[in-house]
Amino acid sequence: MTRGNGEVLNTMRLEFLSLPENVGLARVAVAALAAQADITLNEMEEIKVAVSEAVANAIIHGYGGEPRGWVRVTVNRLQDGLEIIVEDDGKGIPDIAQAMQPAYSTDPERMGLGFAFMQSFMDELEVTSEEGRGTRVVMRKKLNPSVTTA
């Protein structure tokens, strides 16, 4: 299997209920797959923060913090990096451009920096959403080329 940015060396798919404690689960699972690549500790931390923010957004904003929906995380380890996809079937984002502005949040208890962290820690960020149908966040991180699979 190949993609525009390299051959897929490994892939993982994880699906879990929209429970806050599952942010850590997603973070650890993605980190375990990312560790198969030749990455620095700083890159690992950036990946973990970006995943935490994307999954937390799905749980908090997509499902309103209610454990009634599913969050799906797919990770593709590519020859030249990682592609991480976080999806939910929640309420969706009415205005993506507005939601991606630093300090914007629909929850007054939140700082609204999730997308800002994702943008600064990843090389590419794509967000698609449809009201009432959910959100899909695709993050890509370029890493040192690797040809090993373990």
Catalytic residues: 53, 57, 110
Check: CB of residue 52 under 8 Å from CB of residue 102: no
Kind of pairing between the strands at 81-88 and 70-78 = antiparallel
Token representation of residue 69: 């929906």
d(CA 84, CA 100): 18
Q: Which two tokens stand for residue 84?
A: 């991480």
